[in-house]
Amino acid sequence: MEERSLRIYQEKTFFSKISNTITKILTPTKIGINGMLISIKRNNALKAYEAYKASEDIQNQEKQEAIEKKFEDVYALYLESIDKYIMDSIYKKVKNDVASDFEKNALSEYYSVVHLKETEYLEYKYKKQMYLLNLDYETVDSLNKEQLLQRYQTLYVSQMESLYKGLLKHYSIKLADNLTPGAKDEVYNKIFDTLEKYIENILPLKMKQDPDNKVYKEIIEDYQSFERFTVGKLDQNDTIEKNMILLSLSRKLFTHSLPLIVAEQCYEKLLNDVRSLIVDTKVIRKQEKAYSLLITLIEEYNVKLQSTKVYWEKPAEREAYKDFYKQYQAIQKGKEKNYIEYSKDKQVLFLRNDLKKLRKEPNRYYKIIQFYCAKLVELDAMKNLKNSFISEGAYTKGPKKVKRRGRPKKVVNA
């Protein structure tokens, strides 16, 4: 029956046109009904959430758990109502070609999340909730009701914070699996994308809600640096720098969801990206820009990240880092006296230290090792020794004499 009706709609007959017109008339009505149901469920969720937050100070644990359970149930029904709205209303509007660009994009994004269900269920679970909440947040924001918006933001930010942390934790655990290099890169990119969306959409709301938070005051410089990358088209160098800032922010915002060992792997991925950019770039100006980023990235990795590391697998690596850090501190003292010498000494220290690691895999890092050595020569930290050895004597060989072999003599018995 369903297939037959689809065939009828495809034909441009008088009856199919009438059917389409009726559907177009009825769809807005259904949207209105769904919108009203979402509004009711949203208000129920807000009341349940406010009761749940108020119950945190209650000593009676049993009562507290009951209130929490009620909120979870009401919250689930609220999300289901938004999900139903997408399928009952937006889907039909897109199908009948009466949807706005926003609705078309919303449905497209919905299906990009739903397709994860079969292969990545945990990721699907987090992303679907985030999608549904974000869709309704945009609806509430468009109503121009300031009191409702402020009230809703409290629930929205709290739930989104929890979902982002859960998603980052999921990616962190996934990196521990035996993944191919390509699959690992995909997880790294998902981590950077998740951090970017959080810092762009959720962090401003949290900073507005809690302006006196000490952590937000500490990250304000990095946050302002990140804002530079939210407009305009980014090249590969800009993308690496943006991801570096995201990692720096994550060390304050997601200490547990994105553990140090995972942040370390993300930094190493960025270091490899910028090394590849240096050797692949033929334009000198772009290569120097990438080199400048490399020095900044090495400093971020070795000073900001490694200095917070407590557990080292190999004691020798810990001792080597201690020696490196002492040299770094000594160089820092000369920053105010002579900045040019300070900059030169810092580059030499960073390149030599990184060179030790790269030489463990000379075939893989052959080109960047050559670049590092050329830079150290340029900085007067290494000498370029030319091969001036000249050998004396004639070493040409004459043609080989071919020995002729005679036929074997036959022995005749008398």
Q: List the chain domain ranges.
A: 1-144, 167-273+284-301, 312-383
In this predicted structure, the answer to whether residue 23 has a pLDDT above a threshold of 80 is no
Q: Which of 223, 211, 231 is nearest to 250 (CA)?
A: 223
Segment 201-247, tens digit of pLDDT = 999 999 999 999 999 999 999 999 999 998 889 999 999 999 999 99
pLDDT for res 98: 83
In this predicted structure, the answer to whether residue 6 has a pLDDT above a threshold of 50 is no
Which residue is listed with tokens 């490899």? Answer: 272
In this predicted structure, the answer to whether residue 28 has a pLDDT above a threshold of 80 is no
Is the distance from CB of 94 to CB of 107 less than 8 angstroms?
A: yes
The gap from C-alpha 122 to its chain's centroid, in whole angstroms, comes to: 17
In this predicted structure, the answer to whether residue 51 has a pLDDT above a threshold of 70 is yes
CB atoms within 10 A of CB 45: 23
Q: Which of 273, 247, 129 is nearest to 195 (CA)?
A: 247
Segment 239-298, tens digit of pLDDT = 999 999 999 999 999 989 999 999 999 999 999 999 999 999 989 999 999 999 999 999
Is the distance from CB of 112 to CB of 127 less than 8 angstroms?
A: no
Helix (H) or strand (E) holding 114: helix 101-114
- The single-letter code of the amino acid at 107 is L
Which residue is listed with tokens 């770094």? Answer: 328
The number of CA neighbours under 13 Å toward the Cβ of 12 is 0
In this predicted structure, the answer to whether residue 31 has a pLDDT above a threshold of 90 is no
Alpha-carbon distances, residue 394 vs 257, 389, 397, 400 (angstroms): 71, 16, 9, 17
pLDDT for res 29: 43
pTM score, whole prediction: 0.82
Dihedral angle computed from the Cα positions of residues 259, 264, 266 and 272, in that order, rounded to the nearest 10 degrees: -170
Segment 330-389, tens digit of pLDDT = 999 998 899 999 999 999 999 999 999 999 999 999 999 999 999 999 999 888 776 655
pLDDT for res 311: 86
Is the distance from CB of 349 to CB of 324 less than 8 angstroms?
A: yes
Q: Which of 256, 222, 257 is nearest to 242 (CA)?
A: 222
DSSP state of 338: -
| Distance (Å, whole) CA 207 – CA 224 | 13
Which residue is listed with tokens 């709301």? Answer: 205
The number of CA neighbours under 13 Å toward the Cβ of 23 is 19
| Distance (Å, whole) CA 393 – CA 396 | 9
Is the distance from CB of 37 to CB of 109 less than 8 angstroms?
A: no
| Distance (Å, whole) CA 410 – CA 1 | 101
Give the list of residues 6+ apart from residue 23 with CB closer than 8 angstroms, or none: 92, 96
pLDDT, the chain, mean? 86
| Distance (Å, whole) CA 272 – CA 191 | 17
